[in-house]
Chains A and B, each alone.
Chain A
Amino acid sequence: MSKTETQSAGKGTCIKTGAQIIVDILQEQGVETVFGYLGGVVLPLFDKIYDAKFNFIIPRHEQGGCHMADAYARATGKTGVVIATSGPGATNLTTGLATANMDSVPLVAITGQVRSDLIGNDAFQEVDTTGITRPITKHNVIVRDVSELASTLREAFHIANTGRKGPVLVDIPVDVAVSSIEWTEPGVIDMPGYKPRLTGHAKQIKTAAQAINSSQRPVLYVGGGIISANASKQLSELAEKANVPVTMTLMGLGAFDQKKPLSLDMLGMHGAAYANFAVQESDLLISIGARFDDRVTGSLKTFCPNAKILHIDIDPASISKNVKVDIPVVGDAIQILPELAALCEHKERKDWFARIAELKKRYPLTYDKQNGLLKPQMVIEEVYNQTKGDAIVTTGVGQHQMWAAQFFKYSRPRQFITSGGLGTMGFGLPAAIGAQAACPDRTVIDFDGDSSFNMTLTELSTAVMYKLPVKVVLLNNGYMGMVRQWQELFYGKRYSQSSLVNPDFGKLAQAMGATGLTCESKDNLQETVSKMLASEGPCVVDFHIEPEENVWPMVPSGKSLHEMDGIDILERLA
């Protein structure tokens, strides 16, 4: 077709190229910031992006761009958008897509593909993108005809941000991007195979309320689903009305204000001992938007031995996947929780709260503060105090991530952005950049480890280029910290390949145009943190922490949730 875009083909009609349609759909969907990287087959699209109304951020690597879009989505609740070219561009997205998929983050990835007539011929930069990304996306599709482009993209946004959210990839051959068709206005999306159930079954909700009302030792165990559903307020109302303590998964941190007395903080492998004991001693576990991950449950055989399990989730496949559920309720938490709360009675549960108070007193989350070295927990607490707990926090993966989960207290949803399901090292810095792009007025802190930071530190120059003032708090122990901890505990301290020779991170940051600071002693901690927070642009602080500090408590893999290593240490320090 030789028609060009915006050329009128009659009354009320408008002919556009595929590339223009992509840009127009992004604008129609309210997309404000797009992350992406250029390449041969996406040049027609980038030519149209030149005139687009949204912001555009080019990372240094597509993986970085995908994490940025992911964190943008987690920070705002909107759908993140990332664009990559065919072949290596698309394959570089895979870690980011898998991360978003495991954590149910709404994301639309647009990839370029080689010309339709070359597909299957091993053309330059050709890869079977839908084949590669099928298991790591909620849905993916290749658009073979420009007439399907608009509806496919609209469906992609719909699928990504409804039901159990997740990434959707749309692969677009370059000939589809350059051919033209009449623009269609959005209509009703009706996909016969996709009808997420939002309202909970009334009878099941009633059964759930009866179970809560008759329970002596209930615990709410909530996950990232509460945050995805924007149901934090409804959760608080339920917890307070029914008078039930709340423990959160790593992904659920921020769903319930940790400063409230009902908060039991995080549970699981590195959760608070009092949360783990409470869960094990409960007679009713009320799970909402959580999926009984092995890092949460420990050994399934001995998980909550005396409890009935009530599970509220939008994904029917999550129910009875890992544990047998006694009372399932499928639907959207924001709709179900008020209905449930209305049927719940306020019970005093004196004995249960007395037991919880005893557990909290006996096994607090703490560390050895008398030791002369700079402790990672101390750094996190200092940042918490100086930011008044208000910062958005991102992390890489490892010990620093667990300390950031234990020692920073989160009071609102979308405040803590971390790779929970996939455990993606290198997530922290690009996530901070995405969150900062989403929330320019907030302080964004990336608590990172040296080995996590090493993986994607090149994105620091993206932060500099776009003047995004992220603060990287590098808890540098010269090790892959969590690996070293496992080697110490389970491999007789044989630290095989887990120690690192690092660059001078402060100088490196300076070379990239950011502020770079180093802190080697706890005497300089307060001053360094205030310097960091006062710095104008992006800033990296290299904190030289005690190299062999461990994360306590710890449920060793395969053990029961109450069989924690290190609780004797916590008890002694209490």
Chain B
Amino acid sequence: MKHVISALVQNKPGVLAHVAGMFAARAFNIDSLAVGRTDNPELSRMTIVVVGDNRVVEQVRKQLAKIISVVKVQDYVDRSVVTRDLMLISINTPQDKRSEILALINIFRGKVVDVSAKYVMVEISGPEAKIEAFMDACKPYGIKSVVRTGTVAMPRFSKT
């Protein structure tokens, strides 16, 4: 099962190495990892997607929390969260398929961010499934290259 884990870490050199090293040393599998500063310049947030049963994920959470420069760890498993991946994708655009491709981009609410004679570059964000679906839809035209950020996630405000 996929778990989204959020780790608030000190924004210091070596912290990513500590986190990545812990995963490697304990043979935990990272599905995706996204890191960025928070509103507090002292702190960064890592969103880590881990695949494993509850026992494995509990260990991941505890071992993460044990790292001295990790301030707080949350497993979002029981919470409703908004998750987003960002993808940049360059799609082959033969003359006769251009309008078809643009329509497809529209359906997925993608945004064309660069154009050349042969390709368009599209920015698209959303839950992972949507990103995957868009990539599948683009395959018949030919994908030149893809770059993705990994998942970021934030819990929804409680409705009570």
Q: Pick the residue among A130, A144, A317, A320 that contacts B66 (CB under 8 A).
A: A317
In this complex, how many residues of chain B approach chain A with their Cβ under 8 Å: the count is 22
Residues of B near A193 (CB, < 8 A) are 9-10, 67-72
Interface of B is mostly: helix
**A-to-B contact residues, CB < 8 Å:** 130-131, 134-135, 138-139, 141-142, 144, 159, 191-194, 315-317, 319-321, 324
The distance from the CB of A316 to the nearest CB of chain B, in whole angstroms, is 5
Q: Mark B20-41, 1 if CB is under 8 A from A, else 0.
A: 0110010000000000000000
Closest 5 CB pairs of A and B: A317-B62, A139-B68, A193-B71, A192-B71, A135-B25
Residues of B near A138 (CB, < 8 A) are 68
Q: Is B132 an interface residue, CB under 8 A from the partner? A: no
The distance from the CB of A295 to the nearest CB of chain B, in whole angstroms, is 19
CA distance A194 to B65 in the complex (A): 9
CA distance A321 to B57 in the complex (A): 11
Residues of B near A316 (CB, < 8 A) are 62, 65-66
Residues of B near A141 (CB, < 8 A) are 14
Most chain B CB atoms below 10 A, which of A142, A317, A320: A317
Known: A193-B9, A321-B59. A131 touches B17 (CB 8 A): yes
Further 14 A-B residue pairs, CB within 8 A, beyond A134-B17, A159-B68, A324-B55: A130-B14, A135-B22, A135-B25, A144-B13, A191-B68, A193-B9, A193-B10, A193-B67, A193-B69, A194-B68, A317-B65, A317-B66, A319-B62, A321-B62
The distance from the CB of A92 to the nearest CB of chain B, in whole angstroms, is 21
Q: Is B18 an interface residue, CB under 8 A from the partner? A: yes
Q: Pick the residue among B18, B70, B72 that contacts A134 (CB under 8 A).
A: B18
**B-to-A contact residues, CB < 8 Å:** 9-10, 13-14, 17-18, 21-22, 25, 55, 58-59, 62-63, 65-72
CA distance A131 to B17 in the complex (A): 8
Residues of A near B62 (CB, < 8 A) are 316-317, 319, 321
CA distance A315 to B65 in the complex (A): 10
- On whether the beta carbons of B68 and A135 are closer than 8 Å, the reply is no
Chain B: CB-nearest residue to A195: B71
The distance from the CB of A355 to the nearest CB of chain B, in whole angstroms, is 33
> Can you list 22 A-B pairs, Cβ within 8 angstroms, ordered by A?
A130-B17, A131-B17, A134-B18, A134-B21, A135-B21, A135-B22, A135-B25, A138-B68, A139-B68, A141-B14, A192-B10, A193-B10, A193-B70, A316-B62, A316-B65, A317-B59, A317-B62, A317-B65, A319-B62, A320-B55, A321-B62, A324-B55
Interface contacts (Cβ under 8 Å), in number, total 43
Residues of B near A134 (CB, < 8 A) are 17-18, 21
Residues of A near B66 (CB, < 8 A) are 315-317
The distance from the CB of A360 to the nearest CB of chain B, in whole angstroms, is 36
CA distance A194 to B9 in the complex (A): 11
The distance from the CB of A567 to the nearest CB of chain B, in whole angstroms, is 33
The distance from the CB of B80 to the nearest CB of chain A, in whole angstroms, is 26
Residues of A near B25 (CB, < 8 A) are 135
The distance from the CB of B64 to the nearest CB of chain A, in whole angstroms, is 9
Most chain A CB atoms below 10 A, which of B10, B14, B21: B14
CA distance A317 to B58 in the complex (A): 9
Chain B: CB-nearest residue to A136: B25
CA distance A319 to B62 in the complex (A): 9
Q: Pick the residue among B14, B58, B67 that contacts A142 (CB under 8 A).
A: B14
Residues of A near B68 (CB, < 8 A) are 138-139, 159, 191, 193-194
The distance from the CB of A94 to the nearest CB of chain B, in whole angstroms, is 14
CA distance A144 to B66 in the complex (A): 24
Q: Pick the residue among B13, B17, B63 that contacts A317 (CB under 8 A).
A: B63
Residues of A near B65 (CB, < 8 A) are 316-317
CA distance A193 to B25 in the complex (A): 21
The distance from the CB of B52 to the nearest CB of chain A, in whole angstroms, is 14
CA distance A194 to B10 in the complex (A): 11
The distance from the CB of B28 to the nearest CB of chain A, in whole angstroms, is 12
The distance from the CB of B120 to the nearest CB of chain A, in whole angstroms, is 40
Residues of A near B22 (CB, < 8 A) are 135
Chain B: CB-nearest residue to A140: B14
Chain B: CB-nearest residue to A164: B66
Residues of B near A315 (CB, < 8 A) are 66
